[in-house]
Amino acid sequence: MIIGSISEDKNLEKRVSITPEISKKYISNGFKVKIEKGIADHLGIKDDDFKKEGCEIDTKENILKASDILLQINFPAEESLRIIKDKIILIGNFNTNNNQEILDKYKSKISIFSLELLPRITRAQSMDILSSQANLAGYKAVIDSFSLFKKAIPMMMTAAGTIPAAKVLVVGAGVAGLQAIATAKRMGAIVFATDVRLASKEQVESLGGKFLVVEGSENLETKGGYAKEATEDFKKKQEDLISETLKKIDIVICTALIPGKKAPKIINEQMISNMQPGSVIYDLAASQGGNAAFTKADEKVEKNGILIVGESVILNKLPISASNLYSKNLFNFVLNLYDKKNNKMNINMEDEIILNTLVK
């Protein structure tokens, strides 16, 4: 069985789907591994690093024609798909909500597994690309936003006087939000958080954050553990609570997303106008429209002294760490598909993980 991986568009994607460490694991499980020449040069990982682990370096065309399994991050370009081997298994993170047309075109020729569709069950945790990548995103959002803030973060008592601790609000307490809370607390900030899922309250408080409870709120959580759209009554109560809180907040980290929909607009123009000059809003939901008014993807906008940063490619700022985790997620998924005894892939539709991630 041949596992292959070709280069992503490096202008858009710095991560890779396979690292030397993980390629060694594939080979020890009986696979052959072929990767495109120079696939990770930009990360300081050379072809020789892969060769030492037993990988073959080849051209893109040869890999596409020979591979039984192709590991990617984004969906390959059409020129690659036209020469791809029939019945190949393609695994990655293909944003099925936005790419349904192209996926429909090729799903009869190849088996496409998109791992953002993984069910939230214990057995799938080691394959969960959303969690592993969101963890890094939440951490990096705090580091970047703190670097943009023009005051110290922790409380400092000096002979000249006391510097108060910065106050941070995290909007959305999923994986990225919880990591943002933990990172901000470690750096000495006072942290508040809000989420439509009441189950998040205990998690936020366990990390030392203060959870903003909307009066009379219901638990807006799907069976899969994701947030669902709030009612108009909830939105009004949440708006009043956040509006009052923002008057004393220095830094806002926005992470709230609803799968398959535009990001909920939680921080409006009026709220921003009431914030303290010098405050920073760092919006990780920018690629889906943003949680804050004025957010523009991959741009910095200043309004009344408030800096609003829209971030859609934050993992490109941590590509080595992100690649290490992503490649481990894919390895665990491939092993779940692989029938080692008979040296073949087993697409068992009775397996909840396979059933949910296969593009139908």
So what's the pLDDT on residue 340? 85
* Predicted confidence (pLDDT) at residue 172 exceeds the cutoff of 60: yes
Do 245 and 327 sit in the same domain of this protein? no
Does residue 120 have an active-site annotation?
yes
* Predicted confidence (pLDDT) at residue 211 exceeds the cutoff of 70: yes
C-alpha 347/C-alpha 341 separation (Å) is 15
pLDDT digits (tens, 9 = 90+) for 322-335: 999 999 999 999 99
Residue 122 located in a structural domain:
no
Does residue 15 have an active-site annotation?
no
Catalytic residue among 23, 72, 111, 131: 131
Element (H, E) at 219: none
Residue 146 located in a structural domain:
yes
Residue 127 located in a structural domain:
no
Do 107 and 7 sit in the same domain of this protein? yes
Do 103 and 55 sit in the same domain of this protein? yes
Do 196 and 215 sit in the same domain of this protein? yes
Residue 123 located in a structural domain:
no
Do 300 and 174 sit in the same domain of this protein? yes
Do 90 and 182 sit in the same domain of this protein? no
So what's the pLDDT on residue 260? 73
Catalytic residue among 49, 68, 80, 120: 120
Element (H, E) at 310: strand 306-310
* CA count, 13 A, side-chain hemisphere, 27: 18
pLDDT digits (tens, 9 = 90+) for 86-101: 899 999 999 998 889 9
Cβ atoms 1, 345 nearer than 8 A: yes
Residue 353 located in a structural domain:
yes
Q: Residue 98 belongs to a domain with what CATH number?
A: 3.40.50.720
Q: Which SS3 state, helix, strand or coil, does residue 161 take?
A: strand
Among all chains, which residue has been given the structure tokens 């303290």? 276
Does residue 125 have an active-site annotation?
yes
Residue 124 located in a structural domain:
no
Do 329 and 312 sit in the same domain of this protein? no
Do 112 and 154 sit in the same domain of this protein? no
Do 308 and 335 sit in the same domain of this protein? no
Number of domains in the chain: 2
Question: With pLDDT > 90 as the criterion, what percentage of the chain qualifies?
Answer: 86
CA dist 311 to 113, 314, 316, 325, Å? 27, 6, 11, 21
Order across the sheet with 32-36: list the strands.
56-58, 32-36, 2-5, 69-71, 89-92, 111-114
Residue 88 located in a structural domain:
yes
* Residue-range definition of the domain harbouring residue 252: 134-316
Do 32 and 179 sit in the same domain of this protein? no
Catalytic residue among 226, 243, 321, 351: 226
Three-state secondary structure of 7-69: CCCCCCCCCCCCCHHHHHHHHHCCCEEEEECCCCHHHCCCHHHHHCCCCEEECHHHHHHHCCE
Does residue 326 have an active-site annotation?
no
Catalytic residue among 58, 67, 128, 279: 128
